[in-house]
Amino acid sequence: MPKIKTHKGLSKVLKVRKSGKVKIYCPGSRHNTGSKSSKFNRKNRKGNSLSKADENRLKNLI
């Protein structure tokens, strides 16, 4: 069996935390942040964790 290649597009978006959970960044925090509220921008600085179902589905691609 050949090795499974890393999906490069996905690996740039997702990061694996020390606990093994997968971190994903919040959408809407890339550009036009001046017109968005500071509360929204502050909240989006932290990442979110993927749900368990999505984590199991995408774990072998990273």
Per-residue pLDDT tens digits of the chain, which is 62 residues long: 888 888 998 888 888 888 888 888 888 888 999 999 999 999 988 888 888 898 888 878 87
Q: 38-47: which pairs have CB atoms within 8 A and are 24 or more residues apart? A: 47/15, 47/23
Asked, for residue 14, whether it belongs to a domain, the answer is: yes
Please tell me the total count of domains within the chain.
Answer: 1
The range of the structural domain enclosing residue 14 comes to: 8-27+37-61
* Alpha carbon distance 31, 28 (integer Å): 7
pLDDT of res. 39: 94
Asked, for residue 3, whether it belongs to a domain, the answer is: no
Non-local (6+) Cβ contacts of 54 within 8 A are: 22
Asked, for residue 2, whether it belongs to a domain, the answer is: no
In 10 A of CB 18, how many CB atoms? 5
Comparing CA positions, the residue from 38, 16, 40 lying closest to residue 28 is: 40
pLDDT of res. 21: 86
pLDDT of res. 11: 86
pLDDT of res. 49: 87
